[in-house]
């Protein structure tokens, strides 16, 4: 049981974004994908839930080839996956409570009370207690992002894909979210895939770190291995020294 991307290629018109990306994400681990803006991190993540289909290559989740699944099986598989969108993607015609409860309402075994209970628990986890009846438009960008996070974790999925969960949040909230991600992994055994630009927290909370560069995985290892890499591209990226990267490419 794991997530595996094998030689995934994807282009939009003439823009080749992924050029043979291969990455294995082990169960129970938290993997952070880093990479420059526009390098295709979000695109890679969307392949895992089948929002995008690879032009070539395969995406395996729980032994299922995502790009070959029929619609019903795909939706069944998705119930095991939570997805935190980079820009929250809250349903703006619904209240925050309804947004968070969306996934739960697809679970017939849950009573209305339990749903309400779970919604407020999840909102508490992201420090949004009491926001159930607000509309997304009444929230700040950071609050929306946290509400999106709450929506993704509400169904207690086996996998959670975080697209920049902490970007744009203040340091204290960032720490809270990081803490939450770690707890999800340790207490509930959730497998996490995080896209992050925050190298410090990436190294702190991840079991593995992978770097996406020019459509492929440049490095994939434990935080220590990545930190120790002497690949100038990797070094330049994690230390924030563009000259190093430019020299090589």
Partner 1 sequence: MAAITTHVEAVGQAAIRSVSSVGRAGFLGIDAVRALRKVELWGPHLIPQLARVGVESVPIALFIATFTGIVLSLQASYTFTGAVPLYFVGTLVGKTMILELGPVLTGLALSGRVGANIAAEIGTMRVTDQIDALETLAYDPVAYLVVPRVLAGAIMFPLVVILANAIGILAGWGASLVLLDLSSPEFLKGLKLFFLPFDVRFSFIKSITFGVTVTAVGCYFGFHTRGGAEGVGHATTRAVVIASMIILVLDAFWAAVLLR
Ligand X SMILES: Nc1ncnc2c1ncn2[C@@H]1O[C@H](COP(=O)(O)OP(=O)(O)OP(=O)(O)O)[C@@H](O)[C@H]1O
Which residues are near ligand X by CB under 6 A?
12, 15, 17, 35, 37-43, 86
Minimum Å distance from CB 37 to Mg ion?
7
Minimum Å distance from CB 29 to ligand X?
21
Closer by beta carbon to partner 1, 41 or else 218? 41
Minimum Å distance from CB 91 to partner 1?
6
Candidate list 31, 32, 39, 42; residue touching Mg ion; CB under 5 A:
42
From ligand X, Mg ion, partner 1, none, which one binds at residue 49 (CB under 5 to 8 Å depending on kind)? partner 1
- Three-state SS at 110: coil
Closer by beta carbon to partner 1, 139 or else 211? 139
- Three-state SS at 122: helix
From ligand X, Mg ion, partner 1, none, which one binds at residue 43 (CB under 5 to 8 Å depending on kind)? ligand X
Minimum Å distance from CB 154 to Mg ion?
23
Tokens found for residue 172: 């204290």
Q: Minimal CB distance to ligand X: which residue?
A: 42
From partner 1, Mg ion, ligand X, none, which one binds at residue 12 (CB under 5 to 8 Å depending on kind)? ligand X
Interface positions with partner 1 (CB under 8 A): 46, 49-51, 71, 75-76, 78-79, 81-83, 85-87, 89-92, 102-103, 106, 151-152, 155
| 115/118 Cα distance (integer angstroms) | 5
From partner 1, Mg ion, ligand X, none, which one binds at residue 143 (CB under 5 to 8 Å depending on kind)? none
Minimum Å distance from CB 50 to partner 1?
8
CA 135 to chain CA centroid, Å, is 24
Beta strands 191-195 and 159-163, pairing class: parallel
Closer by beta carbon to ligand X, 59 or else 119? 59
66, burial (CB in 10 Å: exposed 0-12, middle 13-18, buried 19+): buried
| 174/163 Cα distance (integer angstroms) | 14
Minimum Å distance from CB 48 to ligand X?
13
Which residue, among 198, 167, 202, 212, has the nearest Cα to 181 in the 3D structure?
202
Instruction: Write the CA distances from 244 to 38, 67, 148, 210, 248, integer angstroms.
Output: 19, 37, 36, 19, 7
From partner 1, Mg ion, ligand X, none, which one binds at residue 51 (CB under 5 to 8 Å depending on kind)? partner 1
CA 212 to chain CA centroid, Å, is 14
Question: What DSSP state is assigned to residue 140?
Answer: -
- Three-state SS at 218: strand
């Amino acid at each position: 049981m794991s997530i595996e991307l094998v030689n995934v290629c994807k282009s939009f018109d003439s823009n080749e974004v992924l050029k043979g990306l291969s990455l294995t994400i082990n169960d129970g681990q938290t993997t952070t994908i880093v990479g420059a803006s526009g390098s295709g991190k979000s695109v890679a993540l969307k392949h895992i839930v089948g929002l995008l289909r690879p032009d070539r290559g395969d995406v395996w989740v729980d032994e299922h080839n995502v790009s070959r699944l029929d619609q019903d099986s795909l939706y069944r598989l998705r119930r095991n996956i939570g997805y935190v969108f980079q820009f929250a993607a809250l349903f703006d015609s619904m209240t925050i409570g309804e947004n968070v409860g969306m996934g739960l309402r697809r679970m017939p075994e849950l009573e209305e009370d339990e749903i309400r209970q779970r919604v407020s628990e999840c909102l508490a986890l992201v420090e949004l207690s009491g926001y159930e009846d607000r509309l997304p438009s009444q929230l700040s960008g950071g609050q929306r992002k946290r509400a999106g996070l709450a929506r993704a974790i509400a169904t207690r999925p086996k996998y959670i894909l975080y697209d920049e969960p902490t970007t744009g949040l203040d340091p204290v909230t960032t720490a809270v979210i990081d803490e939450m991600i770690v707890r999800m992994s340790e207490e509930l055994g959730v497998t996490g895939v995080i896209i992050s630009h925050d190298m410090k927290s990436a190294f702190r909370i991840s079991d593995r770190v992978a770097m996406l560069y020019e459509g492929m995985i440049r490095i994939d290892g434990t935080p220590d291995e990545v930190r120790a890499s002497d690949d100038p591209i990797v070094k330049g990226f994690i230390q924030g020294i563009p000259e190093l990267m430019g020299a090589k490419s």
